[in-house]
Amino acid sequence: MANESKSSSLRSQIEKLKVDSPRNQDSAFTGIEEFVPGLLKEIRNGLPLPKTDLKSVASAKNAVQDISKKLDELKAYQDRVRALRDLLLQKKHTLTASARAELEALSDQLDDFEEH
C-alpha cells in the first residue's frame, strides 16, 4: 500500500511538472513567441531601399541621406535581433537547467521508490 501511495504521488508530481512547467507559466516566453513574427514582418516591411536619383548633385546628396537613414534603421533591427537571440539563448539555458534539476529530483525519487 505504501508503494502504491509513493507511485501515485510520483505520478501526480510528474503530471504537475507537465502542467506547471516554466514554458507554460512564463509570460515573457509567450511574449517572445508573439514578438518574433511581428519583428520579422516589421523588418521585411522596412527592408526596401529608398529610390535614388543620381542625376544631380543635390539629388545624390538626398540619396546618400536616405540610404544613411535606412542603414541606421537596419542597424537598429540588427541590434533588436541580437538582443532577442541573446534572450532566447538565456531562456534556453534556464529551461534546460530547470528541466535537468527536475529530472534529477524525479530520478532520485524513483531510485528511492525502487529501493523500498
Render pLDDT for 19-40 as a digit per residue (tens, 0 to 9).
Answer: 555 544 444 445 555 666 777 7
Amino acid at 11: R
Q: Can you give the residue ranges of every domain in the chain?
A: 2-46+78-115
Report residue 5's pLDDT band, with 50, 70 and 90 as the boundaries: low
Measured between alpha carbons, how far is residue 32 from residues 70, 82, 84, 87 in Å? 26, 13, 8, 9
Q: pTM (2 decimals)?
A: 0.46
User: Model confidence over 42-57: pLDDT tens digits?
Assistant: 777 767 767 777 888 9
